[in-house]
Amino acid sequence: MLVSGIRRNKYHDGGRLRFGPDGKLYASTGDAQNGAYAQDRSALEGKVLRLNPDGTVPSDNPFGNYVWSYGHRNPQGLAFDSQGRLWEQEFGNSIMDETNLITRGGNYGWPACEGTSGTCGTAGFIAPVRTYPTAEGSCSGITIVRDALYVACARGARMYRAAISGSSLTNVQTYFSGTYGRLRTVEPAPDGGLWLTTTNQGDKDSTPNNSNERVLHVTLGN
């Protein structure tokens, strides 16, 4: 066990893990359906956590604990770009989902701010780089290949591709809209393509003997 004391609930548990180029382990945690946790910098919920591989707290973390960034509702995908920057994909509530560029000690506004709705102008809140309507999003896994960000979406049943240009996402394109249903995970394949996983059965209602899912392989163009 590396970290204990992360509160959970039926929903909003986050749960993505990613090693960074700094050798640290980053973990996303949901707010456990209690938005107040997200703004509490002493709580581990509604955060991106950063820890040493042995489970200790890195000495350069901003708040003297595992918390790297806060103000998250239900952070899902994590991915690092060629500059070593951390990108995060987050489930919104009922209005919009977020793609965020994570900074050390950053506050991403939940529960006062969802995407660009609510009191997002509050001093210190960091705006998302891109938002998606929840009906076209509910995006979970992300990965970065050749400085293009790929986003797998569940409710939206599609994959997005966006070029990383500075601190912006440009030339956003949509693939597989409705073709394979809900998509949960996108990861780089050894041959330079992508792996995608579907999530069409049982992710909310715990359908017994659920095995009707697929792992897809995608070849990328040059």
**217 has catalytic annotation:** no
User: Of 12, 50, 130, 184, which is the active-site residue?
Assistant: 12
Write b or e for each residue in 14-41: b if 16 or more Cβ atoms lie within 10 A of its Cβ, otherwise e.
bebebeeeeebbbbbbbbbbbbebbbee
> Cα 206 to the chain's mean position, in Å?
22
Write b or e for each residue in 103-115: b if 16 or more Cβ atoms lie within 10 A of its Cβ, otherwise e.
eeebbbbbbebbb
- CA–CA separation, 160 and 192 (whole Å): 17
Is residue 190 exposed (0-12), middle (13-18) or buried (19+ Cβ within 10 Å)?
Answer: exposed
DSSP string computed for 74-114: EEEEEEE-TTS-EEEEEE-SSSEEEEEEE-TT-B--TTTEE
Contact call for residues 42 and 49 (beta carbons, < 8 A): no
- CA–CA separation, 86 and 19 (whole Å): 10
Contact call for residues 27 and 57 (beta carbons, < 8 A): no
- What amino acid positions are annotated as catalytic residues? 12
